[in-house]
Amino acid sequence: MNFDEIITLDKADPLAKKRLEFDLPADTIYLDGNSLGALPKSVKPRVAEVISQQWGNDLIKSWNSHNWIDLPIQVGEKIAPIIGAAQGQVICCDSISVNLFKVLCSALKLNSERTVVLSTKDNFPTDLYMVQGLSDLLGAGSCQLEIVEEQDIQQNLTRSVAVLLLTQVNFRTGMLLDMAKLTQIAHDKGILVIWDLAHSAGALPVELDNSKADFAVGCGYKYLNGGPGSPAFLYVAKRHQVTVKQPLCGWMGHANPFAFDPNYVPSHDINQFQCGTPSVISMSALDAALDVWQDVDMLQIRTKSETLADTFIALIKMNPCLHELTLCSPDVAQLRGSQLAFSHDAAFAICQALIAKGVIADFRAPNILRFGFTPLYTSFEDIWRAVAILVNIVESEQYKEPRFSITLKVT
């Protein structure tokens, strides 16, 4: 593969113009959109207007005049088609951890004759922590966590399991689980399924409705580009919304919050999963960021994602000095999300050296160097240049400089 072929790929890219909708810093190759998405240009004027006009001038009137009160539903409906959900099933609110607590409690309540929550050892830690915390709260007689290897999920789907809690794309390796297959097998055993979409929403076609998923959660700050600390979202299948009851009975989930009734009466739709007052500024930023998706074909996203990663792997293989980087992600593009993970004893130092050279990747303990490919703004030339810089760092052994082994709070 040569540079002319790389340029040809960029020229043929149907998503190339989308890059112009992002405010990307000069002299930076950003391969960490799987942790924090880049800034869409539409966000800056929207946030400025919310602060200066809506809050600064219109003050409390903006709850009605600028529809602040409807933002959780409005943003949820923008996310819905990206994750394969029909209207009325997605709401934007709180954090992914808080939303996990809500849907875990809801699922256990619906399947109250069982107590086991089955998940995987390499699931994102917060998912496991939330089950552990719920077990501490309720007692093992009501909730107990069982964890297995990813390859052993299917054989552990027994009739003692109440809830199957899975992340569609593994945060370390990028391995993609088969949502439709695993959901069907679980349902055949009377198990409800919660999907964590943190590394799949906006990275690949997600089919919640077609897969007959029960619940899902996801965040707004990765591939959806909503900004640091952006509100999360949750999905509850329409068939569950009348009978389900979530435990955080906040006033915004009341059927009529401004009646100020001392007795809680939940909405009988997705709105019952709200708790407190929406975070208007951050939710407005996410609302504006989602506009870049209005004319995007998720199949084009997937095709480009696979080609970007395959190109990266091919370039790695072309350079003998990089052969100590061991691919931890699946070789087959269809079996992974939109990221690649490589193990190396000096993964952290190599990552820091890359960042110093303007290539933003990230590190995941214990020894994973991770590269994310965001089809809306990652170009094939980015990939070419990133690998060239990686070659220089490894060949020259720059990563062995002591400054690249200094750890900070966030890795």
Specify whether 305 is located in the same domain as 283.
Answer: no
Name beta bridge partners: 371. 340
Q: Is residue 60 part of a domain?
A: yes
- 280 contacts 71 by C-beta, under 8 angstroms: yes
- 232 contacts 92 by C-beta, under 8 angstroms: yes
Name beta bridge partners: 80. none
CA 97 to chain centre: 12
CA 161 to chain centre: 25
Q: What are the tens digits of pLDDT across the range 256-269?
A: 999 999 999 999 99
Give residue 101's pLDDT. Answer: 98
Parallel, antiparallel, or unpaired: how do β-strands 362-364 and 368-372 relate?
Answer: antiparallel
Name beta bridge partners: 14. none
Catalytic site residue from 101, 124, 171, 377:
124
Catalytic site residue from 222, 304, 336, 357:
222
Specify whether 254 is located in the same domain as 134.
Answer: yes
CA 347 to chain centre: 23
CA within 13 Å, CB half, 93:
29
| Cα separation, 117 vs 131, whole angstroms | 8
Catalytic site residue from 196, 287, 362, 382:
196
Q: Check if 124 is active-site.
A: yes
Q: Is residue 253 part of a domain?
A: yes
Name beta bridge partners: 118. 146, 164
Give residue 13's pLDDT. Answer: 98
Give residue 88's pLDDT. Answer: 98
According to DSSP H, which parts of 61-216 are helical?
A: 62-65, 71-79, 96-110, 125-138, 179-188
Q: Is residue 39 part of a domain?
A: no
Q: Check if 121 is active-site.
A: no
Q: Which CATH number covers residue 203?
A: 3.40.640.10
CA distances from 134 to 94, 140, 147 (A): 18, 9, 15
Specify whether 211 is located in the same domain as 333.
Answer: no
Catalytic site residue from 101, 171, 221, 399:
221
Give residue 411's pLDDT. Answer: 83
In which residue ranges of the chain is pLDDT below 50? none
Q: Check if 222 is active-site.
A: yes
Catalytic site residue from 312, 362, 370, 373:
370
| Cα separation, 201 vs 125, whole angstroms | 19
Q: Which of 237, 268, 293 is the last residue of a domain?
A: 293
- 37 contacts 384 by C-beta, under 8 angstroms: no
Whole-prediction pTM: 0.97
Specify whether 63 is located in the same domain as 20.
Answer: no
Q: Which of 243, 268, 293 is the last residue of a domain?
A: 293
Q: Is residue 35 part of a domain?
A: no
Residue-by-residue DSSP string for 286-344: HHHHGGGGTT--HHHHHHHHHHHHHHHHHHHHH-GGGTTSEE-S-SSGGGB-SEEEEE-
Q: For the chain, how long is the longest CA-to-CA vector?
A: 70
Instruction: Quickly count: other Cβ atoms within 10 Å of residue 63's Cβ.
Output: 17
Question: What domain range includes position 362?
Answer: 3-30+297-405
Give residue 30's pLDDT. Answer: 98
Specify whether 131 is located in the same domain as 279.
Answer: yes
The full length of the chain comes to 411
| Cα separation, 109 vs 142, whole angstroms | 10
Q: Which of 236, 269, 293 is the last residue of a domain?
A: 293
